[in-house]
Amino acid sequence: MCGIIGFTGNIPAKDIILNGLERLEYRGYDSAGLALLENGEVTLHKRTGKVEALRNLCASDDNSATCGIGHTRWATHGGVTDVNAHPHHAGNVVLIHNGIIENYRQLIVEYGLADKLVSETDSEVVAQLLNIFYEGDPIAAIKKTIKLLSGAFALCIMFKDIPDKIFAIRNVSPMIATHCDQGSIIASDLTAVIAFTKDYFVVPEYHILTLTKDEIVVEDLKGHVTKPEILTVNWDIEGAQKGGYPFFMLKEIFEQPDAIRNTVSPRVEDGLPSFEEDGIDDAIFEHCKRITIVACGTAMHAGMVGKQLIEEKLRIPVQVEIASEFRYKNPIIDENTLTIVLSQSGETIDTLEALKLAKTFGSKVLSIVNVKGSTIARESDYVLYTHAGPEIAVASTKAYTVQVAAMYLIACRLGLVKNIITETMARQFISKLLSAPNIIEETLKQAEEIKRIANQIKLSPDAFYIGRGLDYVMGLEAALKLKEISYVHAEAYAAGELKHGTIALITENVPVIAFATQEKVYDKVISNIVEVKARGAYVVLVSMDESVTDTKVCDCHIRIPRLDSEFTTFATAVILQMIAYYTSEAKGLDVDKPRNLAKSVTVE
Ligand code: AGP
């Protein structure tokens, strides 16, 4: 996710901005830049690469400017290039932006900006619009521009002819601000400001901030000045990077709504899935007769969701392969097979080697990767980057759900290109996918109930996840999550298979978490639950059913919002992640760094 920082005060701004950008590096980025304003002149440096490289670039500047803005870019619209880096400069305006302007293409056409633009970014479009509307009144120009934008944005803006002032406004994308002895500071999060002060305020949405060295004025769009509540942090720098959460994993669980918005929204055009920006050729979907999905661990589990969707809806055969197995078999793939590779890090050696093997059989490779420019991305024919931001915890959460979201987009695009589904069906499907972030936000509210369940599960050396169809696939991910961070030996089982042996392991108080969100097999799963309950299991039921209160069926019930069965995965994902997280936390374990595990398995 991009990082932004702005400073105006009574000391030079350059090092404050560079140091702040370094503190924001954990957010993940591929480019960095800054702009300093002094005597009506703008000194602007920006390039791909690290903040350190930017610091070197600015080293010779003897700029004593006390007003400036800085940015670390996590590319969404437009490739990783110097010109796409921020800040963007258009006439009188210099700005930095974190977010996604969903209607930027339409604005380019409406305001005839095509010949003015030098970058491929949505952010530059905002700079150009501000410059068009700016006739000496910055607030008026900002109001006019903001009315046109749809999407998420956190903007810091300087006007060349307005010395020592920074203007800012946000919608959805995060931004905090503070005034201290040195001046006024605004940033994406606390990490960049905590070195100066622990008092800050959250920038209210759709309020225009005017930062000067003496104060920060906050006014709503009607010009009413407001005073946001001042908050105080009790974190150190490392804590700030966790955004106040005790572990990165919990922070990343709660980042999932935005991660999915940032991954899906840029790929929806007029309500339909579009990979135009990604340069993914529809031909790979048109010509494929079958699909092979290759990955490891959680990434593979995301691929298994894709298998269920594609086979169920499109009747196209999908084979999911464990990369370390696939590498050493003689795979049955050819030029009519589309190989989809999933990897958060883009560096998993087994997945990389499997990708190379697939290509030797003439198969086109589309990879779903979260780290830009990673090896798997570079080796693939096509890449669909997820925009989850950096995932620090070893246990993958937000990277998993954005991989799942990417599979939904691919399934929909595949069905459209092959004329298996109509545009109307595709629009309905995409509209349900766009509501996934809200479903997750709703489900996250059950954290307290899940904590109570975790306190029961932590007492047991074993646990079972059961389900059918998509719920069984989610059970596989649930078992892995619980094992890898709480060390409870968990196993996922197709609910109908339990009585063919494994039910022998069900004894008093053994936790059995049943996912029962698939309507057509709901009653079957309930009867499987009754079987294990009768043998003393501690049963957690996860379903959409409001009516379940009978303790003969379950010991506790986590209800998820009523949805189409094929879209319950996002709610189930958050529940399984929170069960694992709170069990590990209840056991006093290091949730982010579980024993024996690495974030990226770059060795065989
Ligand atoms: C995820 O919780 C695990 N840590 C692990 O299974 C991971 O998904 C797997 O190693 C694949 O990593 P990748 O997505 O970076 O390729």
Quick one: pLDDT at residue 80? 85
Residue 384 Cα, ligand 1 centroid: separation in angstroms?
17
Residue 597 Cα, ligand 1 centroid: separation in angstroms?
10
Residue 306 Cα, ligand 1 centroid: separation in angstroms?
17
Ligand 1 pocket, mutate which of 345, 593, 604 (most atoms under 8 A from CB): 345
Angstrom distance (rounded) from CA 175 to CA 193: 11
Q: Which residue's CA is minimally distant from atom 6 of ligand 1?
A: 297
Residue 57 Cα, ligand 1 centroid: separation in angstroms?
36
Q: Which atom of ligand 1 is nearest to the CA of 480?
A: 2
Structure tokens at 126: 């905002």
Q: Which residues are catalytic?
A: 2, 599
Residues with CB under 6 A from ligand 1: 296-299, 343-345, 348, 351, 394-396, 484, 600-601
- Say what the pTM is: 0.74
DSSP-assigned letters across all residues of 20-64: HHHHTGGG--SEEEEEEEETTEEEEEEEES-HHHHHHHHTT----
Helices within 248-397 (DSSP H only): 248-254, 256-264, 283-286, 297-314, 323-326, 349-360, 375-379
Q: Which residue's CA is minimally distant from atom 5 of ligand 1?
A: 297
Q: Which atom of ligand 1 is nearest to the CA of 599?
A: 4
Residue 249 Cα, ligand 1 centroid: separation in angstroms?
14
Beta bridge partners of 99: 153
3-state secondary structure of 439: helix
Quick one: pLDDT at residue 130? 98
Q: What is the pLDDT of residues 298-314, one digit of tens each?
A: 999 999 999 999 999 99
Structure tokens at 404: 């799942």
The list of the chain residues with pLDDT below 70 reads: 1, 26, 234-240, 373, 548-551, 599-604
Q: What is the CA radius of gyration of the chain?
A: 25
Angstrom distance (rounded) from CA 376 to CA 356: 9
Q: Burial-class residue 555 by CB neighbours within 10 Å (0-12, 13-18, 19+).
A: middle
Ligand 1 pocket, mutate which of 344, 386, 604 (most atoms under 8 A from CB): 344
Quick one: pLDDT at residue 550? 66
DSSP assignment letter at 322: E
Angstrom distance (rounded) from CA 558 to CA 539: 11
Ligand 1 pocket, mutate which of 601, 602, 603, 604 (most atoms under 8 A from CB): 601
